[in-house]
Amino acid sequence: MEDKIKKAAELIKDSNYIVAFTGAGISTESGIPDFRSPGGLWERYDPSIYAEISSFLSHPEKYWKMHRELSQMVLNAEPNPAHVALADLEHKYGKLKTVITQNVDFLHSRAGNTNVLEIHGSGQTARCLKCNKEFHYTQIQQMLEEEQYVPRCPHPCYGLIKTNTILFGEQLPWDVLDQAREEILAADLLIIIGSSLLVYPAAALPSLAQQSGTRLIIINMEPTMMDSYANVVLHSKAGKILPKVFEAFESLINDS
Ligand code: NAD
């Protein structure tokens, strides 16, 4: 493991335009479960039913039931050492240019990263599907606390409100996806953290990096389909290993 940490640190030292691609795994150490953790939220709320657009439209109460639990977890969560290491890589060294995330928990922004592309949207805002009025999540929380099981736009519109997260069956925001592709093509190193790389089209972005010859570091608890293409693979908890990689990188900088 020490050799791999050193190799990852060297890759970071030799790169000037680093992009991070993150998934639910980077936030599990902040207390937000990924889709595959045993005993987690998603065992009770199958995402293919509870996080799917047609079931949201026909049974919004199901989505909001799940959302009540998930939003409590997100609101109680704090950025963990992996989020902080990415913020340091941007602010202390200017090496990290962009974070492309599949997460909707806004922990990267809260950690301090400034250029965060949320390709699956964000739970920070919601909007009325009828009049498009936007709501901040604090307003939604208030509606839920007032026992509104399905938040609706205030009278007279009374439209259904939906968080600005992308549900299964919905199109990704193409402008954000285009920016993500541009960043991937500009990158000289892509660090992939906490993603099973099974959810498309998001998972096509690391493949694009690999096809364009970008060097890859993968940090994930379990193997992914991209492991054989990566320069370094670290099967470990992101919150434990990323600070170690960052420390090793700082030692290399201080020694040179
Ligand atoms: P995923 O659940 O498919 O995969 C997560 C991966 O992270 C797994 O391979 C797991 O082994 C790994 N992992 C778990 N904990 C880890 C840790 N501490 N360190 C390193 N690796 C760890 O997640 P995905 O690939 O992001 O795709 C699933 C979808 O889930 C995405 O669309 C995302 O929007 C959504 N999601 C988001 C959140 C969130 O915002 N925090 C939470 C759950 C699901």
Q: Which residues line ligand 1 (CB under 6 A)?
A: 23-25, 27-29, 32, 34-36, 102-105, 120, 194-196, 198-199, 219-222, 237-239
Tell me, what's the pLDDT at 39?
67
Average pLDDT, the chain: 93
Rounded Cα–Cα distance for residues 218 and 26 (Å): 12
Q: Which of 165, 193, 224 is the last residue of a domain?
A: 165
Q: Are residues 100 and 199 in the same domain?
A: yes
Q: Is the pLDDT of residue 8 over 80?
A: yes
201 cis-preceded (ω within 30 degrees of 0): yes
Rg (CA), the chain: 19
- Compute the distance from residue 22 Cα to the ligand 1 centre, in Å: 8
Which residue has the least CA distance to atom 40 on ligand 1? 103
Token pair recorded at residue 239? 């919150």
Rounded Cα–Cα distance for residues 61 and 63 (Å): 6
Q: Are residues 127 and 210 in the same domain?
A: no
**Could you tell which of 21, 26, 28, 34 is best to mutate to test the pocket of ligand 1, judged by most ligand atoms within 8 Å of the CB?**
34
Tell me, what's the pLDDT at 70?
87
Token pair recorded at residue 233? 């693979």
Q: Is the pLDDT of residue 104 over 70?
A: yes
Which residue has the least CA distance to atom 18 on ligand 1? 237
**Could you tell which of 22, 26, 35 is best to mutate to test the pocket of ligand 1, judged by most ligand atoms within 8 Å of the CB?**
35
Q: Are residues 66 and 188 in the same domain?
A: no
Residues taking part in catalysis: 120
Burial class of 22 by CB neighbour count within 10 A (0 to 12, 13 to 18, 19+): buried
Tell me, what's the pLDDT at 148?
75
* Domain of residue 100, residue span: 1-31+79-120+171-256
What CATH number did the domain enclosing 254 receive?
Answer: 3.40.50.1220
Rounded Cα–Cα distance for residues 27 and 242 (Å): 13
CB atoms within 10 A of CB 249: 23
Pairing of strands 232-234, 189-193: unpaired
Q: Which of 165, 193, 220 is the last residue of a domain?
A: 165
Q: Which of 165, 200, 229 is the last residue of a domain?
A: 165
Averaged pLDDT for residues 167-186: 95
164 and 53 Cβ atoms separated by less than 8 Å: no
